[in-house]
Amino acid sequence: MRRVHYTDDHLAFGELARDFAAKAVAPHYEAWEDAGIIPRDVFTEAGALGLLGFAAPEQYGGVGTADFRYNQILVERFMDAGCGGVGLSFAVHNDICLPYLADLTTHEQKKRWLPGFVGGRLIAAIGMTEPGAGSDLSGIRTSAVDKGDHFLVNGAKTFITNGQNADLVITAVRTSPDRHRGLTLLVMERGLDGFERGRNLDKLGLHCQDTSELTFTDVKVPKENVLGEVGDGFAHMMRNLAQERMQIAVGSLGRIRAALDWTVTYVRERTAFGKPIGALQNTRFSLADVATQLAVTQAFIDNCVIELNEGRLTAADAAMAKLWASETEFRCLDACQQLFGGYGYMREYPIARAAIDARITRVYGGTSEIMREIIGRDLRLDRSPSAKEATRA
């Protein structure tokens, strides 16, 4: 299905990403998966090519475009190369962290952080999830006590992507008991006394994407590290969650497309009973279903990306995008992996790694159950229709 929402500029950027993934990442990917982390110089190499922080203002090294189609095509090209873990680490940096650092920072903060961010010298992460607070962000308990010229931070975060590599961690902390107005965003910088990284977590998939526990023990964070206004953290996170969920959705879409391409190639080459297994009706029917689900998902997600660019994407629509793409991804990758037979269970095959990596997409960024809750609330099923609505019905 033709991608009508990409221009020649997007496609050229995609080729740059594809070339980098093929030459600088793919040859080393299995070693990085085994090591459980991406070398830091991969970020600086990507930054030098313009693959990081491109939405940052030009005076800080970016190109000043917030067009999410560039973010989308970058992730797709890394999925095509079977290097999703690296592409998604870049996506956390570009898609999730940059809006906070570009939109909420003062001029002084921009000068401190953005040039290094764009160049890949300062790797970013976001610290929301805690051992006792996941999808419900209002349950965050990490505390920040006002001490005049600084906040004293105590608490812990978990499941933090880029957690080992990160130099800047955008951290949600509680500055007052108020459930929503009590949250503030602080940037925790590498080297602050009392800021410690725990183990690099042993995940089911996405092994090279380092994911960590972080602890804060009497960490003195200068007030110059507050993002936005004290007490506005919850509102800022809610505003940026739509783009975070779109980042997950476009990753799921990219993985479906890559899986279909790998499977089509495999079934043309693999023979059984004297002919390619692609000639079997079961294979044709299975892949016909995958191709159809891919086309439907692509049309929906591409439209949501345009809505995001125009500032019209609602929280419910973003939830639909994540729910649909991640659940469809799970079905499609299972169907593709089945056609590989025993080889589909071998991690040396990209389809095996992709199927394992895909499992988390129905959990992070808000579980599928939370997405259904957001969509269901938007339907307003718990109220009586107005007279106008009743007449129209």
pLDDT, tens digit (0-9, with 9 covering 90-100), for 282-324: 999 999 999 999 999 999 999 999 999 999 999 999 999 999 9
Residue ranges per structural domain of the chain: 8-122, 125-231, 235-378
- The number of angstroms, rounded, from the C-alpha of 68 to the middle of its chain's C-alpha atoms is 13
Per residue in 113-126, pLDDT (tens digit) is: 999 999 999 999 99
Residue with tokens 């610290």: 127
Q: Which two three-digit tokens encode residue 235? A: 């509102």
The CATH class for the domain spanning 125-231 reads mainly beta
Task: Indicate the average pLDDT of the chain.
Answer: 94
90-99 mean pLDDT: 97
Give 174's contacts (C-beta < 8 A, 6+ positions apart).
140, 141, 142, 143, 144, 182, 183, 184
Tokens 């975060």 locate to: 157
At 387, the pLDDT band (50, 70, 90 cuts) reads low
Mean pLDDT to the nearest integer, 181-204: 96
Q: Hey, is 195 helix, strand or coil?
A: strand
| Cα distance from N-terminal residue to C-terminal residue, the chain | 36
Q: Which amino acid is at 49?
A: L
Note the pLDDT tens digit of each residue in 148-161: 999 999 999 999 99
pLDDT of 139: 81
Tokens, residue 256: 């479906």
The CA–CA distances, whole Å, from 217 to 162, 194, 233, 366, 381 equal: 20, 5, 21, 28, 45
Report which of 351, 204, 323 is spatially closest to residue 252, judged by C-alpha positions.
323
57 close to 113: Cβ distance less than 8 angstroms: no
**Position 50 pLDDT exceeds 50:** yes
Instruction: Tell me what pLDDT residue 389 has.
Output: 53
Q: Which residues are the active-site residues?
A: 244
- The kind and range of the H/E element at 216 are strand 211-222
Confidence check: pLDDT of 391 > 60: no
Category of 31 on φ-ψ map: left (φ > 0), alpha (ψ -120 to 50) or beta: alpha
Closest C-alpha among 129, 55, 42 to residue 87 = 42
Averaged pLDDT, 64-89: 96
pLDDT at residue number 385:
65
Task: Kindly state the helix (H) or strand (E) to which residue 321 belongs, with its residue range.
Answer: helix 315-339
Please choose, from the candidates 309, 357, 304, the residue with its C-alpha nearest in 3D space to the C-alpha of residue 333: 357
Mind listing the pLDDT tens digit for each residue in 207-261?
Answer: 999 999 999 999 999 999 999 999 999 999 999 999 999 999 999 999 999 999 9
Structure tokens given for 46: 């990507």
- Is 8-122 a CATH 2.60.15.10 domain? no
* C-alpha–C-alpha distance, residues 326 and 244, integer Å: 13
Whether residue 36 contacts residue 217, with contact meaning beta carbons closer than 8 Å, is answered with: no
Token couple for 123: 């790797």
DSSP 81: T
DSSP run (H or E) holding 172: strand 168-174
CATH superfamily label, 235-378: Butyryl-CoA Dehydrogenase, subunit A, domain 3 (1.20.140.10)
Whether 320 and 375 have beta carbons less than 8 Å apart is answered as: yes
Tokens encoding 23: 């030459």
Q: What amino acid occupies position 45?
A: E
Residue 188 is encoded by which pair of tokens?
Answer: 């925790």
- Which residues neighbour 388 within 8 Å (Cβ) at sequence distance 6 or greater? none
